[in-house]
A and B are shown apart, each in its own frame.
Chain A
Amino acid sequence: MVSGKHKSRTYKRVKIRTPGGTVKIHFRKRAPAKAKCGVCKQELHGVPRKRPFQMRALPKTKKRPERPYGGVLCSKCMRQQIINKLE
Chain B
Amino acid sequence: MFEIGRLCVKLAGRDAGKKCVVVEVLEGNYVLIDGETRRRKCNLAHLEPLKEVIKIKAKASHEEITKTLEPLGFKVLNTKPKKASEKPKKKSRVKKQKPVKTGKKVTPKLDVAEKSKAEKPVKSEKPKETKKTTKE
Contact = CB atoms under 8 A, between A and B. Distances in A.
A80 to B, nearest CB: 9
Interface residues of A, number: 10
A83 interface: yes
A86 B7 CA distance: 13
Contacts of B14: 66-67
B contact face: mostly helix, strand, loop, or mixed: loop
B50 A82 contact: no
Given A82-B11, A86-B9, A68 B48 contact: no
A79 interface: yes
Contacts of A68: 16-17
Interface in B26-69: 48, 50
Interface of A: 66-68, 75, 78-79, 82-83, 85-86
24 contacts: A66-B14, A67-B12, A67-B13, A67-B14, A67-B16, A68-B16, A68-B17, A75-B12, A78-B16, A79-B11, A79-B12, A79-B16, A82-B9, A82-B11, A82-B16, A82-B17, A82-B48, A83-B9, A83-B11, A83-B48, A85-B17, A86-B9, A86-B48, A86-B50
Interface of B: 9, 11-14, 16-17, 48, 50
